[in-house]
Amino acid sequence: MKKIESVTSSALSVTIAVFISRILGLVREQVLAYFFGAGKSMDAFVVGYRIPNLLRDLFAEGALGSAFVKVFSSSLEKEGEEKSFKIAQILISNFIIILTITIILGILFANAVVSIIAPEFKKDLYKFNLTVRLTQIMMPFLLFISLASIFAGMLNSFRIFFLPAFSSGLFNLVSIIIGIFGYFIFIKLNMDPIHAMAIGVTLGGLSQVLFQYPIIRKKGFIFKFCPNFKDPNFKEVLRLILPVILGLSVVQINIFINTFFATSCGEGAVSWYSYAFRIMYVPLGLFGVGLSQALLPELSRQIAKKDFILAKDTFSRALIISLSLSLPSAIGLFMLSHPLIALLFERGKFTFYDTINTSKILEILALGLPFYGFSKTTVPLFYSLGKTIIPAIGSIIAVITNITVILLTIKKMGINAVALGTSFSLFIQSLFLLIIGFYYLGVPEKIFILKSLFTLAIAGIFLMGILKILKLLIINKILILILGIPIGALVFISFCKLFGPQETYLFFERFLRILRKS
C-alpha cells in the first residue's frame, strides 16, 4: 500500500503541473478559436502541427522517452549517478544527430508529406501551400520536445516530477504570448497571422528545454556532445525502441487515417475535431500522464529487483486510481459538452454552428476516456518488463478497429465517425493490454477489484443523475458548469469515500490535503 501511495503522490505532482499546462493549452485554443475560428487557416495549422506532432509522439513521448527512462533508471539503480550521466550524454548526443537529420528531411519533403496526409487540401492551393509553410516552421519543434522529454525522464528517475511536467505549461504560455503579439505583426505585414502561432509552437518547445536543463544540471549532469553509436546502452535503447516504434508507427497511421478522413469531411471538420480533442486533453492530464510517468520508474525498480508480487499490487491499484479519475471526467464531458464548448470557444470567429459540431464530437470522444486511461496505465508495465512488442500489437489491433468503424459509419456520420472510431479502438486496445498484463503479473485480488468497480459504477450513476437534474432545472450554461462540476464531484467522491476501497478516492484525498496545506 505504501508503494501505491508513493506512486499516487508522484502522480499528483505531475497531475497538478500537467493540469496547469492543460488549462494553458485551453487558453491557447481559445486564442486560436477567437482569431481563426474553424476556417481555412485553422485547418491548415492543425494539419501542419500534426505532422511534427506525429514524430513527437514517436520520439519524445513514446518510444524514445520510455526506452531512455528504462535504461537510465536501471543504470541509476545498479551503477550510480556518475555512470548514468555518462550514458545519458552518449544517448542524447546520438539522438540529436538522428533528430536533426529527421527535421531536415521533414522540411525538404513537407510538400510531399502534406500531399499524402491531406490530399483534399490540394483543391485549395492557398490552403495547401499554407499548410506546407506551417509544417516547415514547426518541424524544429521535434528536436526541442524530444530533448525536453529526455530531461523530464532523467528528473523523474530522481523522483522529481512537478517541475518537468510544469515545463509543458511553459510551452503553452510562450505559444500564447508569441501567437497574440505575432498576430498583429503579421497583419501589418499583410501575411496570414496563423504563422505567428506556428512560430510560437517552435519557440515554446525550446523554452521547455531551457527550463529543465538547469534543474538536471543541479543534480550533477552536464551535457557534452559525445556521440557513440556503438555504445551497448545505445544498442539496448534501440532494442527497446524498435518494437515500440513499430507500435507507435501504427498509432501514427491511426492518426494519419483520422486526419485523412477528417480533411474529406468539409471545411472546419479538422478544426472541430481538434478543439474537441483539446477539451478531452485536460482530464487526460489528470490521470494518464501523471500515473504513466510515476509508474514507469517505480515498476522498473520493482521488476529490476524481481519483486513481481509488489509490482502486481502496484499495477492493480494504479488501474483503479486511473478509473476513479477517468470515469467522472468522461461522464462530465459527455453530459456537459455543449455548455462547455460554448463557454470556452463561442466568441470571435467561432460560431454557434461550430459549437454544435464540436460538442457532438466531444460527446463521442468522452466515451473512450476511461479506456485511454487504462491503456496509459498499462503500457508502462510492458516497458518495465521489456515486453515492448505487446503495446505494438495492441496498437495494430486499434488501427484495424478504427478503420473498420470509420468505413462503416462515415457516410452517415461524417466527422463524427472519426471520433467513434477513435473511442471504440481505445476500448479494444485497452481490453487487449489488460488481458495480457494480467497474464504476465497474475490476476489481482478479486474482492478488491470487484468492490472497486461496483463502487465506481454506482458513484457514476449518481453523478449522471445529478447532472441530468441540473440540466433540466437550469438553462444558463455558465451556471450549469459552476454548479454541476463541484456538486457532481462532491457526490462522486463522497460515495467512494463511504463505500469504496481507498484507491477509489485516494487521488482526490491527496489533492484536498495539498489544498488544505496551501
pLDDT of residue 237: 79
pLDDT of residue 440: 81
The answer to the question of residue 483 being in a domain is no
pLDDT of residue 57: 63
Residue ranges of alpha helices (H) inside 219-268 are 232-263
One digit per residue, the tens of pLDDT, for the chain of length 518 reads 545 555 555 556 666 777 777 788 888 888 988 899 888 899 899 889 888 877 776 665 556 666 777 788 777 777 777 888 888 888 889 989 988 999 999 999 999 989 988 888 888 899 999 999 999 999 999 899 888 888 888 887 777 777 777 787 888 899 999 999 999 999 999 999 999 999 999 999 999 999 999 988 888 888 889 998 888 888 887 777 766 666 555 556 777 788 888 888 888 888 899 889 888 877 765 555 555 555 555 556 666 666 667 667 777 777 888 888 888 889 999 999 999 999 888 888 898 999 999 999 999 999 998 888 888 778 777 877 777 788 878 888 988 999 999 999 998 999 999 999 989 998 999 999 989 988 887 777 778 888 888 988 999 999 999 999 988 888 887 888 888 888 888 888 888 888 877 766 666 666 666 555 55
The answer to the question of residue 309 being in a domain is yes
Q: How far apart are CA 250 and CA 151, in angstroms?
A: 26
Residue ranges of alpha helices (H) inside 351-504 are 352-366, 369-385, 389-413, 415-441, 446-473, 477-499
The answer to the question of residue 364 being in a domain is yes
The answer to the question of residue 456 being in a domain is no
CB atoms under 10 Å from CB of 345, counted, come to: 26
What are the grid coordinates assigned to 17, written together? 503541473
CA quadruple 195, 41, 270, 180: dihedral sign: positive
The answer to the question of residue 275 being in a domain is yes
Tell me the residue type at 337.
Answer: S
CA quadruple 463, 468, 471, 473: dihedral sign: negative
pLDDT of residue 185: 93
Domain count along the chain: 1
The answer to the question of residue 499 being in a domain is no
Q: What is the pTM of this model?
A: 0.72
pLDDT of residue 295: 54
> Residue 186's domain spans which residues?
2-444
CB atoms under 10 Å from CB of 473, counted, come to: 10
CB 288 within 8 A of CB 372: yes
Residue among 135, 114, 142 at smallest CA distance from 195: 135
Question: Can you state the percent helix, strand and coil of the chain, rounding each to 5?
Answer: 85, 0, 15
The answer to the question of residue 488 being in a domain is no
